[in-house]
Amino acid sequence: MKRILLIILLLAALAAGAWWYRHRDSGPAELVLYGNVDFRQVTLAFNGNGPVAEVLVEEGAAVKKGEVIARLDTGRIRPQIDQAVAQVEAQQANLTRLKNGNRPEEIAQARANLAAAEAEAANARLQLERQSALVPRAAVSQQALDNARSAAAVAEAKVDASRKALDLLVAGTRAEDIQQAAAQLRAAEAQVAFLKAELDDADLKAPADATVRSRLIEPGEMASPTRAAFSLATNSPKWVRAYVSDMQLGRIRPGMKAQVLVDSLPGHTIPGWIGFISSVAEFTPKTVQTEELRTSLVYEVRVFVDDPDNVLRLGMPATVRPGKEG
């Protein structure tokens, strides 16, 4: 009996040694991940309000960054821009006039007006002196004397007014007036910029190279910033969202190359790299339904891919082989 037991133990040791010899250099099994293609989705809305004039693309259309895909009616904005531009020109002319000051001809005219007022005042004073000299001889009435005094006073007032007008012209424009005109010009320019921004906002542009997923507005409808007009799927970046267990986590690292395969392209591999590994564990999502992993804690991994031909679609199942280049 002991001999039989010894033989059995010997055979078991030989079998274990043979298994170790065959597998001593094989290392761990290849890591294969399973996930789904994912990429960013964008919901677009107009930045302003108004009726939609044109919708230029259909569902499934490929659009480039900056391409106009819809347009609002601009019939009311353009006349407002023309009016605002005219106001800017008027304010600019007024500011230029104030900065240039008074023309020499205006100053010369003011000097002539002052000279005329002074001559008129001198004549009025002379008449007053004559009337005053006749008063002792009763050769002039009191009314005539009063009229002469009033005329002399009016003439002196005209001289004073003419002199002050000349002083203002010679002194030129006040700095406060120039500052006020400059501020009015800036306000007019800001209004033009605002209206031009509204005109630019009338064109709804694609924010990136993308594919139109949904067209949510039609010509004639009223657009607003709170109403979505399009749903776009961006062409880049794209990634495969997969999950690994804590036992597999040590076999991958950010930047590691990978091969990505999809069922619709048998035999064709797409190059990729691991760009994100979650630092927080989560319960296995519903998309992973293997019996072993259904209740396990896993970590999300994003394997980014190059897809210049845009063959990958949202949600497409994919197989990832980390550590291999495509």
Structure confidence by residue, pLDDT tens digits, 50-108? 999 999 999 989 899 999 999 999 989 999 999 999 999 999 988 887 777 666 666 66
Whether residues 84 and 69 share a domain: the answer is: no
Cα–Cα distance list, 247 to 24, 75, 96, 210, 319 (Å): 21, 65, 78, 38, 19
Position 180 scores a pLDDT of: 87
Q: Could you tell me if 239 and 98 lie in one domain?
A: no
Residues 111 and 158 in one domain: yes
Residue carrying structure tokens 């100053």 = 107
Among 163-167, 269-273, 286-290, top mean pLDDT goes to 269-273
Identify the residue with better confidence: 165 or 41.
Answer: 41
Q: What is the pTM of this model?
A: 0.59
As a whole number, mean pLDDT of residues 26-43 equals: 81
Q: Which domain holds residue 103?
A: 80-196
Residues 85 and 187 in one domain: yes
| 192 and 205 housed in the same domain | no
Domain count, the chain: 3
C-alpha separations of 275 from 87, 236, 302 in Å = 55, 14, 6
Considering only CA atoms, give the Rg of the chain.
46
Tokens of 125: 């004073």
Q: Report pLDDT for 25.
A: 46
- Across residues 152-158, what is the average pLDDT? 76
In this prediction, residues 113-132 reach a mean pLDDT of 72
> How far apart (Å, rounded) are the C-alpha atoms in residues 278 and 161?
86
Rounded Cα–Cα distance for residues 244 and 254 (Å) = 14
Which of 131-135, 160-164, 174-178, 272-276 is least confident? 131-135
Interatomic CA distance for residues 95 and 178, integer angstroms: 6
Q: Is 105 inside a domain boundary?
A: yes
Q: Does pLDDT of 289 surpass 50?
A: no
Task: Identify which of 60-74, 129-143, 163-177, 307-321 has the greatest average pLDDT.
Answer: 60-74
**How sure is the predictor about 21, in pLDDT bands with cuts at 50, 70 and 90?**
low
Same domain, 169 and 243: no
Contact 281, 297 (CB under 8 A): yes
Q: Are residues 108 and 188 in the same domain?
A: yes
Which residue would you say has higher pLDDT here, 150 or 77? 77
